[in-house]
Chains A and B, each alone.
Chain A
Amino acid sequence: MEYEAVIGLEVHVHLKTKTKAFCGCSTEFGNAPNSQTCPVCLGFPGSLPVLNAVALDYAIKVAIALSCKVQEYTKFDRKNYFYPDLPKNYQISQYDLPLSRDGFLDIESEAKLKRVKIRRVHMEEDAGKLIHEKNNSLVDFNRAGMPLLEIVSEPDLNSPQEAYDYLASLKSILEYLEVSDCDMEKGSLRCDANISLKVKGASTLGTKTELKNMNSFKGVRDALSFEIERQGERLAEGQTIIQETRLWDVKESKTLPMRTKEEAQDYRYFPEPDLPPFIISDEKINEIKKSIPELPQEKCPRFIKVYGLSEYDAKILVASKKDAEFAEECFKQYQNKDKKPVANWLIGPLASIASKSNISISAVEIPGGKAEFIKLINLEREGSISNLVAKSVLSESVESKDPASKIIQEKNLIQISDSGSLQLIAEEVIKENSKSVNDYKQGKANALMFLVGQVMKKSQGKANPKVVQEILKRRLSDA
């Protein structure tokens, strides 16, 4: 029997507002435990929540970007459960009237286009963090009350790679909207996955498991791959799948059972009486719509059309908003109509410098800025410096903080392409190396390279090797 995976993802992202969802505490990451708390986010008796208007705007922005229908009437609900990281022992979330529903995200995966439907996007608050010590547990409430967005997809994904590409695409959009850092390691983006197997072509779904605890996109892909194999093996053995929540163990590279459906909690959702329902007007939606920038799915075809990039290059460059903006500024400063060389420099040498520091290309500090970068590309294109030299100049420039042109000048790196002066050197070399000259004339092609090398040596490496080769060839065939 051949099976097909059915995958739906629940993504939680931190909205990067300055203050928490329902109080004025800072949302900064990495400060001393419980230094960013107040009676409201600590759930102290008598305290009341007040919705952060910016968080709501951000949430609406995401909903619009994911083509969701923003609901005119929406409300918060309480999700009740006991856990020490949850100060009120209920979470303010949204249940039956979420902020928005019925959107989609178009992704490209394994060379195929796919539309993934978004079931809902809603707001909620985060919990604190437990720190377990030998004999006791401590709670840090800095994270408690941070605004979260939950983005729930329909089970439209059919492979771990599709899930990975969906996440990458979603992350890219959220970054474009500048509403979240989407850093899985810092917990600003978290993903749970629902997965089941069904007989290929069948319409009835199999029993699903819910996977948690993945802390990277790769982790999501790996966990799903493991789970497909595990469920497949069970089905092949004639066993049933138990509906349960499983935790991804990254060290062991496997999923382990956490709790079954029978143990699932009754969250006793009911409308949050401390926050009246609110109405989102069309004006509000239109106003936010206007603030949405060009998104990657629009930017990519434009880059191809306007700057003549290949699809491959364009996709890489538009993945991050800052990088795309950086690339576009470089294209504009580069005078030639064909911007492909600039794209090559961005994706090649600059990207490799960036990756050494684990930063993006737009974050590389190029001494002298983009102007120097473009100047360097121009010198390489016109043959004044070799590609190899140009690359090493760029690296050195970034490292030493000296502008590229200063390095080129100080090291006198401009190639001699002027055939007059190169001819003089060539004549000297021919005189001094009669043996090689003869070897070449007798058909030893290697001898020419030796002579070129000699010219390079005499020119202290500045001669343009291509020009030298031409001169020597011509000169020796004449005689």
Chain B
Amino acid sequence: MELNSLTAHALIEKLNKKEITGQEILSALNSRIKDVDSKVRAYVRVGKNTEFKGSEAGGQSNSLKGIPVSIKDNICTEGLNTECCSKILEGFKPPYDATVIRKLKQSGALIFDFKTNMDEFAFGSSTENSFFGPTHNPWDLDCVPGGSSGGSAAAVAADEAILAIGSDTGGSIRQPASFCGVVGLKPTYGRVSRYGLIAFASSLDQIGPFTKDVKDSALLMNVISGYDPRDSTSANLDVPDYTKSLGQGVKGIKIAIPGEYFIEGLEPEVKSITEAAINKLKDMGAAYKEVSLPHTEYAVPVYYIIATAEASSNLARFDGVQYGFRNTGNNNLIEMYKKTRGAGFGEEAKRRIILGTFALSHGYYDAYYLKALKVRTLIKRDFDEVFKEFDCIITPTAPSAAFKIGEKMDDPLKMYLSDIYTISANLAGIPAISVPCGFTKKGLPVGLQILARPFGEETLFGVAHCYEQNTPWHDMKPKV
């Protein structure tokens, strides 16, 4: 087996035993990228030589020493282009590292200088809204990898990355993880610092890991989690050693199955795969019961009001004044704004800015934004109720497996519905993981979503690890 196809924990073991060198990992990765990335296009701005930035020496811990990590293009890396796959951030090299990057460097990890592809500003569910063009699903190159962190998911799935970092605002880690057959975790809001993550919707965004198995996810979370005084929304709570949650089994675990997630729109094949996974957990000793999350149907509209409102304000700073793309030859300030933003943003970004601006406008605020905030509270309460009795909730990650490139591009509403099962976790601020749980007849992976109460990541790792270790899915590799 090539080194690039191994998990981080397997590589660390080999490094510790001195069976391999760090350089060998890098060479294996580089040759894999050279071989397949022209087909997958997981990375953007790919040049001839890959570089790795990191501080091997002087780090606080060495838990990821020598392990390369691929980074989504919306997370600031000092001196390395960070463009959110948008023309408007063309050439932007942040003068600072995001907190997660700093933590990764301190752990001895190496930061890949090719960033992973994404929907522009994380606006999308297919990675088709990238200024650099779409990423292709390693399991079927005609299909999307999901989005918005499609590049990170595809890189890990195609063994073009060992570990990858993405961001999840409404499912942007879990949905592509599901489509690409890898493990993707959206942590509790506040668990991982957002400092240096170029904001899409500040009250929903979280950074999280893409990995080949659950153990790597726990390892990576150990490094990137924790309070950050630079992020006022980060939680000042101790972080447990997540690897200790592994191997504990699911005996006595109480699982809730929300009826609202198994209705029309869920593809029958995905439904039966999910039900089989739930039965597998039952066989291993977990108990499950159907429950109701009554406000589920409002999650998508609430999300698209709150997320676009915040985005319209967060993206106001891209005006050509200080950094990124600026239209030249303007006659006045307003023209500079209009032409810079007109040419700099893609279609979906413009659509969301307009939606959000409208939702916040005088006379509409109460009917849209304020109402949405209230319903958000109700959605949160639905979860609180369920978690009084249950340890976790299990649902499909997405209503379907990966769809064809171009299939939903003309219909934004259809595209928005592919996040229907993932959005609620962001609105409620709770953690959720997607683990591979089977394949469709066409050979496309399907993900199982497990949700837990705030800061209940240990539960997620425990259940997901037990499931993974008793099923073959995570060992399957796509043929690219």
Partners in one complex: yes
Give the residues in chain B near A45, CB-CB below 8 Å.
76, 82, 84, 89, 92, 94, 198-199, 317-318, 323
Establish whether residues A46 and B199, one from each chain, have CB atoms under 8 Å apart when the complex forms. yes
Can you list the 4 inter-chain pairs with the closest CB atoms, starting with the nearest? A89-B316, A273-B202, A268-B360, A273-B203
- Selected from A49, A50, A87, A268, the residue in CB contact (under 8 A) with B357 is A268
Interface residues of A in 262-298 (CB under 8 A from B): 266, 268-270, 273-276
- Selected from B233, B323, B362, the residue in CB contact (under 8 A) with A274 is B233
Give the residues in chain A near B94, CB-CB below 8 Å.
39, 44-46
**How far is the CB of A77 from the nearest CB of chain B, in Å?**
10
Chain B CB within 10 A, most for which of A47, A48, A80, A82: A48
Give the residues in chain A near B98, CB-CB below 8 Å.
46
Indicate whether B322 reaches chain A with its CB closer than 8 angstroms. yes
Residue ID in chain A nearest B84 by CB atoms: A45
Establish whether residues A270 and B316, one from each chain, have CB atoms under 8 Å apart when the complex forms. no
Establish whether residues A270 and B321, one from each chain, have CB atoms under 8 Å apart when the complex forms. no
Establish whether residues A268 and B313, one from each chain, have CB atoms under 8 Å apart when the complex forms. yes
Establish whether residues B361 and A268, one from each chain, have CB atoms under 8 Å apart when the complex forms. yes
Q: How far is the CA of A45 from the CA of B230 in the complex (A)?
A: 14
Establish whether residues A274 and B316, one from each chain, have CB atoms under 8 Å apart when the complex forms. no
Interface residues of B in 175-229 (CB under 8 A from A): 194-199, 201-203, 229
Give the residues in chain A near B196, CB-CB below 8 Å.
46-47
Indicate whether B231 reaches chain A with its CB closer than 8 angstroms. yes
Indicate whether A84 reaches chain B with its CB closer than 8 angstroms. yes
Q: How far is the CA of A47 from the CA of B89 in the complex (A)?
A: 15
Indicate whether A453 reaches chain B with its CB closer than 8 angstroms. no
Q: How far is the CA of A121 from the CA of B465 in the complex (A)?
A: 54
Give the residues in chain A near B313, CB-CB below 8 Å.
78, 80, 90, 268, 270
Known: A80-B312, A268-B365. 17 other contacts (CB 8 A): A39-B96, A44-B323, A45-B84, A45-B94, A45-B198, A46-B195, A46-B199, A47-B96, A47-B195, A49-B232, A78-B313, A87-B321, A89-B317, A266-B362, A269-B360, A270-B369, A275-B232
Establish whether residues A50 and B360, one from each chain, have CB atoms under 8 Å apart when the complex forms. no
**How far is the CB of A381 from the nearest CB of chain B, in Å?**
61
Give the residues in chain A near B92, CB-CB below 8 Å.
45
Residue ID in chain B nearest A88 by CB atoms: B317
Give the residues in chain A near B96, CB-CB below 8 Å.
39, 44, 47
**Given A270-B313, A270-B360, residue A82 in contact with residue B319 (CB < 8 A):** yes
Establish whether residues B203 and A42, one from each chain, have CB atoms under 8 Å apart when the complex forms. no
Indicate whether B309 reaches chain A with its CB closer than 8 angstroms. yes
**Given A48-B195, A266-B362, residue A84 in contact with residue B333 (CB < 8 A):** yes
Indicate whether A43 reaches chain B with its CB closer than 8 angstroms. yes
**How far is the CB of A153 from the nearest CB of chain B, in Å?**
25
**How far is the CB of B159 from the nearest CB of chain A, in Å?**
29
Indicate whether A445 reaches chain B with its CB closer than 8 angstroms. no
Give the residues in chain A near B202, CB-CB below 8 Å.
273-274
Indicate whether A139 reaches chain B with its CB closer than 8 angstroms. yes
Interface residues of A in 62-84 (CB under 8 A from B): 78, 80, 82, 84
Indicate whether A51 reaches chain B with its CB closer than 8 angstroms. yes
- Selected from A51, A88, A269, A276, the residue in CB contact (under 8 A) with B316 is A88
Indicate whether B95 reaches chain A with its CB closer than 8 angstroms. yes
16 A-B pairs within 8 Å (CB atoms) are namely A44-B96, A44-B322, A45-B76, A45-B323, A46-B94, A47-B96, A48-B230, A80-B313, A82-B316, A82-B337, A87-B321, A90-B316, A268-B360, A269-B365, A274-B233, A275-B232
Q: How far is the CA of A80 from the CA of B201 in the complex (A)?
A: 15
Residue ID in chain B nearest A82 by CB atoms: B337
Indicate whether B419 reaches chain A with its CB closer than 8 angstroms. no
- Selected from B76, B89, B333, B362, the residue in CB contact (under 8 A) with A268 is B362
Interface residues of A in 192-219 (CB under 8 A from B): none
Give the residues in chain B near A78, CB-CB below 8 Å.
313
Q: How far is the CA of A82 from the CA of B230 in the complex (A)?
A: 26
Give the residues in chain B near A266, CB-CB below 8 Å.
361-362
Residue ID in chain B nearest A265 by CB atoms: B362
Establish whether residues B361 and A51, one from each chain, have CB atoms under 8 Å apart when the complex forms. no
**Given A46-B76, A82-B337, residue A276 in contact with residue B319 (CB < 8 A):** no
Indicate whether B310 reaches chain A with its CB closer than 8 angstroms. yes
Give the residues in chain A near B203, CB-CB below 8 Å.
273
Interface residues of A in 121-143 (CB under 8 A from B): 139
Establish whether residues B322 and A270, one from each chain, have CB atoms under 8 Å apart when the complex forms. no
Establish whether residues B229 and A80, one from each chain, have CB atoms under 8 Å apart when the complex forms. no
Establish whether residues B316 and A50, one from each chain, have CB atoms under 8 Å apart when the complex forms. no
**How far is the CB of B141 from the nearest CB of chain A, in Å?**
32
Number of interface residues of B (CB under 8 A): 43
Establish whether residues B232 and A51, one from each chain, have CB atoms under 8 Å apart when the complex forms. yes
Establish whether residues B76 and A48, one from each chain, have CB atoms under 8 Å apart when the complex forms. no
Give the residues in chain B near A46, CB-CB below 8 Å.
75-76, 82, 94, 98, 195-199
Q: How far is the CA of A46 from the CA of B98 in the complex (A)?
A: 8
Residue ID in chain B nearest A264 by CB atoms: B362
Q: How far is the CA of A51 from the CA of B229 in the complex (A)?
A: 10
Give the residues in chain B near A44, CB-CB below 8 Å.
94-96, 322-323
Give the residues in chain B near A42, CB-CB below 8 Å.
322
Residue ID in chain B nearest A85 by CB atoms: B321
Residue ID in chain A nearest B97 by CB atoms: A46
Q: How far is the CA of A402 from the CA of B230 in the complex (A)?
A: 54
Q: How far is the CA of A78 from the CA of B82 in the complex (A)?
A: 25
**How far is the CB of A43 from the nearest CB of chain B, in Å?**
5
**How far is the CB of B99 from the nearest CB of chain A, in Å?**
10
Q: How far is the CA of A314 from the CA of B323 in the complex (A)?
A: 56
Give the residues in chain B near A88, CB-CB below 8 Å.
316-317
**How far is the CB of A342 from the nearest CB of chain B, in Å?**
52
Interface residues of B in 141-197 (CB under 8 A from A): 194-197
Establish whether residues A87 and B317, one from each chain, have CB atoms under 8 Å apart when the complex forms. yes
Q: How far is the CA of A46 from the CA of B71 in the complex (A)?
A: 14
**How far is the CB of B176 from the nearest CB of chain A, in Å?**
21
Residue ID in chain B nearest A80 by CB atoms: B313
Q: How far is the CA of A39 from the CA of B94 in the complex (A)?
A: 9
Q: How far is the CA of A89 from the CA of B318 in the complex (A)?
A: 9
Q: Mark A46-63, 1 if CB is under 8 A from B, else 0.
A: 111111000000000000
Q: How far is the CA of A83 from the CA of B337 in the complex (A)?
A: 10
Q: How far is the CA of A49 from the CA of B195 in the complex (A)?
A: 9
Give the residues in chain A near B198, CB-CB below 8 Å.
45-46
Q: How far is the CA of A46 from the CA of B82 in the complex (A)?
A: 10
Establish whether residues A89 and B232, one from each chain, have CB atoms under 8 Å apart when the complex forms. no
**How far is the CB of B227 from the nearest CB of chain A, in Å?**
12
Chain B CB within 10 A, most for which of A46, A78, A89, A275: A46
Q: Mark A350-391, 1 if CB is under 8 A from B, else 0.
A: 000000000000000000000000000000000000000000
Give the residues in chain B near A80, CB-CB below 8 Å.
312-313, 316, 360
Q: How far is the CA of A87 from the CA of B321 in the complex (A)?
A: 8
Establish whether residues B233 and A276, one from each chain, have CB atoms under 8 Å apart when the complex forms. yes
Give the residues in chain B near A87, CB-CB below 8 Å.
317, 321-322
Residue ID in chain B nearest A274 by CB atoms: B202
Q: How far is the CA of A90 from the CA of B310 in the complex (A)?
A: 12
Give the residues in chain A near B229, CB-CB below 8 Å.
50
Establish whether residues B95 and A39, one from each chain, have CB atoms under 8 Å apart when the complex forms. yes
Q: How far is the CA of A43 from the CA of B315 in the complex (A)?
A: 11
Q: How far is the CA of A45 from the CA of B311 in the complex (A)?
A: 12
Give the residues in chain A near B201, CB-CB below 8 Å.
273
Residue ID in chain A nearest B319 by CB atoms: A89
Residue ID in chain A nearest B357 by CB atoms: A268
Q: How far is the CA of A349 from the CA of B94 in the complex (A)?
A: 60
Establish whether residues B76 and A50, one from each chain, have CB atoms under 8 Å apart when the complex forms. no
Q: How far is the CA of A78 from the CA of B316 in the complex (A)?
A: 12
Q: How far is the CA of A150 from the CA of B347 in the complex (A)?
A: 39
Q: How far is the CA of A257 from the CA of B477 in the complex (A)?
A: 70
Establish whether residues A48 and B317, one from each chain, have CB atoms under 8 Å apart when the complex forms. no
- Selected from A43, A139, A269, the residue in CB contact (under 8 A) with B317 is A43
Q: Mark B419-456, 1 if CB is under 8 A from A, else 0.
A: 00000000000000000000000000000000000000
Residue ID in chain B nearest A22 by CB atoms: B232
Q: Mark B355-375, 1 if CB is under 8 A from A, else 0.
A: 001001110010001000000
Chain B CB within 10 A, most for which of A45, A46, A139: A45
Establish whether residues A139 and B95, one from each chain, have CB atoms under 8 Å apart when the complex forms. no
Q: How far is the CA of A325 from the CA of B337 in the complex (A)?
A: 54
